[in-house]
A = this chain, B = another copy of it.
Amino acid sequence: MEKKQSAMLAVLIIAIIIVAVLFYGEFTGGFSFVSISDGSNPQEQYQFSKNLDVWFMLMLVAFLMIFIRKFEWGVCLATLLSAAASFVIYLALQQFVFDYTVWDQALLIRAVICAITLVIAIGVFLGTCKMWQYLLIGVAFGFVYCLVEYIIGNVEIFGTLATDPGGSVLVHLCAAYFGIGVALGIRDKTAFDEPMYTTTHSVTFVWLASMLLWMLWPSFVCSLLPLESVTTGTITCYMAGIGSLLSTYFVSSMLGKINCLVFTYAMLCGPVAIGAPLLSVGPWGGLLIGLIAGAVSTLCFVYLQPWFTKKIGVMDMMGVHNLHGVGGWMGAIFVSVIVGSVSTFVIAIIVFVIVMVTGFVIGLVVRATRGSMVICDDDFDFVKTEAPKDLPEEAPAASPAEA
């Protein structure tokens, strides 16, 4: 305990010193990086509101994952820590490595998209690492994501760039396989051996998160588009969402009763898969993609996941692969077929390899640094006090002074 506390103090002091130096340079004009875009520009005005919406979605991704009762608060904290670390590292890399000198809303949006990608990814290995390690993973992921983003934006295959305006590959495929890579590196099968309990209300939070994510999705896929394409993106995104919602219901009903934790995830697969072909189809094309994506994702939850879990030994409690992995591949394939160029598909394979390898290495580091594993639940990380036995599910408020 002593050791951990000294380490935390050291990190905090180092961070403050580094940032103070940066601030000093910025304040005195010693460094030339304080230029900020004029906020009255229409693109800036538009992207201001999208910026907040993407952060909104990032927070909701946490609530999509809190159905396990004993790990509700841990999911929130893990989300915030991994998001903060990757966000700030991304910005630092853009400024100091990629020489992004005029900061604008687009830069912030790209940074939060980096963060949300990681937040999706942690769903694969939640509970198998210590809380502070989300910071470590966040720092490492900032580097990985900058590389992936650079490749998607700049590498041409047969003279053509990848087509991925809505992030099927950049965000979803990257998130799913980075997460699986880390999980393979950690390879901890014991963490989830004990039963996971949900409650009626914890699942209701998942419904809330899924429904709000669904409605916010056009903000996500359109956030970096030129203004004239925004209406197209809105239409195809919502049509794809309608499609996957409907086909998820049809396929789920065919298989028996509805599993909430499948339905709330698979209904989002249309918006995931439309990311790449977002501007390459019209409304009915979007609906078609959504119908197929929802059906495929539901079937993957039911038939692929058990095989997958047994085969590669990764639990993927949140079904990240069935939504984001499968959805990402579908996006890359759809756009390749429609546009008639395989470049997006080839880039997707390259991204797949990069994030699996880097994720795996980071997972090994996590495994090596986490010390003896204990099951990470809220009792381990948070102050909790017992309520009297006759007050089920209540605990006296931890006084703020009890930290």
Contacts and interface: CB of A to CB of B under 8 A. Distances in A.
B198 A396 contact: yes
Task: List the number of copies, as a whole number.
Answer: 3
Contacts of A226: 40
A313 interface: no
Given A232-B39, A234-B108, A259-B400, A254 B88 contact: no
B235 A36 contact: yes
Contact of A305 (B53, B215, B288, B401): B401
A158 interface: no
A231 B36 contact: yes
Contacts of A263: 77
A284 B26 contact: yes
A380 to B, nearest CB: 8
Interface string A8-31: 110110011001101101110000
A267 interface: yes
Interface stretch (A144-152, A163-171, A239-247): A239-247
Contacts of A204: 66, 72-73, 76, 202, 205
Given A67-B397, A246-B84, A250-B8, A260 B211 contact: no
Interface core residue of A55, A219, A252, A288 (most chain B CB under 10 Å) = A288
Contacts of A44: 230-231
Contacts of A253: 4-5, 8, 131-132
A72 B260 CA distance: 11
Contacts of A225: 39
A242 to B, nearest CB: 5
B395 A254 contact: no
A156 interface: no
A154 interface: no
A53 B52 contact: yes
Q: Which of A62, A232, A287 has the most CB of B within 10 A?
A: A287
Interface SS of A by simple majority = helix
A228 interface: yes
A201 B202 contact: yes
A72 to B, nearest CB: 5
A36 B53 CA distance: 24
B242 A88 contact: yes
Contacts of A254: 5, 8-9, 12
Contacts of A239: 88
B8 A400 contact: no
B199 A382 contact: no
A141 interface: no
Nearest to A205: B204
27 contacts: A5-B254, A12-B251, A16-B288, A16-B291, A26-B284, A38-B231, A45-B46, A51-B234, A59-B211, A59-B214, A67-B397, A72-B200, A73-B200, A73-B260, A80-B267, A131-B253, A131-B258, A196-B397, A197-B396, A198-B397, A258-B382, A258-B403, A259-B400, A259-B402, A261-B398, A262-B400, A302-B401
The 9 A-B pairs at the shortest CB distance, nearest first, are namely A39-B230, A40-B227, A22-B284, A55-B215, A39-B231, A197-B394, A259-B403, A26-B282, A34-B282
Given A62-B211, A258-B403, 19 more contacts: A12-B295, A16-B292, A27-B281, A34-B282, A36-B282, A38-B228, A52-B215, A58-B215, A76-B207, A77-B263, A80-B267, A85-B246, A197-B396, A199-B393, A199-B394, A256-B383, A259-B383, A305-B400, A319-B400
